[in-house]
Structure formats: structure tokens, C-alpha cells
Structure 1
Amino acid sequence: MHPETHLALHHTRAAELRAEATGYRLAAVAKRPRDLRTRLGWTLVEVGLRLAAAPRPAIA
């Protein structure tokens, strides 16, 4: 294969991989905080409900 052709193919493939990686990164960044925020929110709700509930009598 001619060196310039090989180099052109290399640059094209590298650009494709960069674009693909950027797409995955953007999708991951967009998805993660929402999942984390949802889990954290429900955990805080659960903790708040446990703190607000009347304590159960201890069984001896």
C-alpha cells in the first residue's frame, strides 16, 4: 500500500474513533448523573421516612 494512502486511511479511522468515543462519553455523562441523582433522592426519602417514623419498642 502506498504510504500516503495508508496515512490517509489512518487519519480517517482515527477521526471515526474520536467521534465514536465522544458520542459514548456524551451519552455516559448524560445518563450517569440522572441515575445517581435518582438513587440518591430515593435513598434520602427512605432515610427521612425512617427518621420520621415512630420508634418501635424493643423486643427483649
Structure 2
Amino acid sequence: MHADIQGALNQINTSYKAFEHNDKKLTKSQVRKILEYGLSKGYKTTRDFKDEEVDQIIKT
């Protein structure tokens, strides 16, 4: 899935349910953290993320 980051944040209460990483569902707080990180980096869609970035964001 390649979601629009701002749109997903605007609809976080429902959009987070669609997010997975390494075949595992993500929590709402994990998704929010990932999306906010993406916005801070200037990303437009979730396609801009590298798997390693998401791994690091989830760890912290």
C-alpha cells in the first residue's frame, strides 16, 4: 500500500488498521509515529520509506 501520508494522518482513527510492516499489523501509535516522521522528512507517500527506516522508527 502506498498511502498519502497527510491523508492517512488526517484519518488515523481508521487508516492505521490498514498498515502492516513485515507481515505484522502496526498499532495506532506506531503508525502515527511513522507518518509524522515521514512528514518531517518531506515524504509525500508511504512509498518513500525504506524498510530500515520503519524498523528504526518502531524500535524507538
TM-score by length of 2: 0.27
- Between Structure 1 and Structure 2, whose CA radius of gyration is higher? 1
| Greater relative contact order structure (CA < 8 Å, 6+ sep) | 2
More strand by share: 2
TM-score by length of 1: 0.27
More helix by share: 1
